[in-house]
A = this chain, B = another copy of it.
Amino acid sequence: MFGMSIQPSPARSERRRNTLSLDVVLTEAVAILDEHGERGLTFRRLTEGLGTGPGGVYWYVQDKADLINLACDRVVANALDAVPEQPGEEPMAVLRGLALAVFDELDRHPWAGPHLTSNPGQQNTLRLLDRFGRLVTEAGLPADQQFYAASAVLNYVVGVGTQMARALSRVVGDTDREDYLAAAVARWEELDEQEFAFVRRVAGTVREHDDREQFTAGLDLLLVGIGRAGGRA
């Protein structure tokens, strides 16, 4: 739905060239990003995979930044498509499902996370914010708190989701395939006990549980808080 190309699908007959389209370009770009990471996405590799020249790509895309943004937008589109709107359902349950869909998508495409918060030009991230906002509204949150509550949820989902996705993912920037999270925790346990008192204390507990469960536990903490909150401190 949201990931489809904007231009009308050309009649699949008559011409034998014109195998290219924004859709095809983005599919290839996402595949390369998944396999080789952000640094691995070069026009050389992209055009090789597509069987075109650079000019062909530039017909559909403004520049490399635009290409990556569009690829990110497609990732978010996947999450949105995975959880269709369900009017009448318990809003917080829907929100939780949507958050998990984003989590799963970030797990599949770990390169996308950092670009989601930073770029407001992405239509589907805005769409995601909109859905969070409507769900939070449905749940009865006062009007003047809705925007920042929705922002908080979006930031939590993307921020924590990105971190955990990188931890789970075996591909980080085309190089290391180790158990990233375990390595991080091990590093944490070597930190100074005074200076990093908190991180050292919780380092063990982070490893123990299932990541997806912890992700939603933190989300629920946020939602329960948002649902109950009445005014400012």
Contact = CB atoms under 8 A, between A and B. Distances in A.
For A155, A159, A197, A229, the residue with the greatest tally of chain B CB atoms inside 10 Å of its CB is A155
> How many copies, total?
2
Contacts of A191: 126
Contacts of A198: 129-131, 133-134, 137, 146, 150
Interface string A93-127: 00000000000000000000111011010000011
A133 B202 contact: yes
A113 B118 contact: yes
25 contacts: A114-B114, A118-B166, A120-B166, A129-B198, A130-B196, A130-B197, A130-B198, A130-B199, A133-B198, A147-B205, A149-B221, A150-B198, A151-B160, A151-B163, A154-B159, A155-B156, A155-B160, A221-B229, A223-B233, A224-B225, A224-B229, A225-B226, A225-B227, A225-B228, A228-B229
Interface of A: 92, 113-115, 117-118, 120, 126-127, 129-131, 133-134, 137, 144-152, 154-156, 158-160, 162-163, 166, 184, 188, 191, 195-199, 202, 205-206, 214, 217-218, 220-233
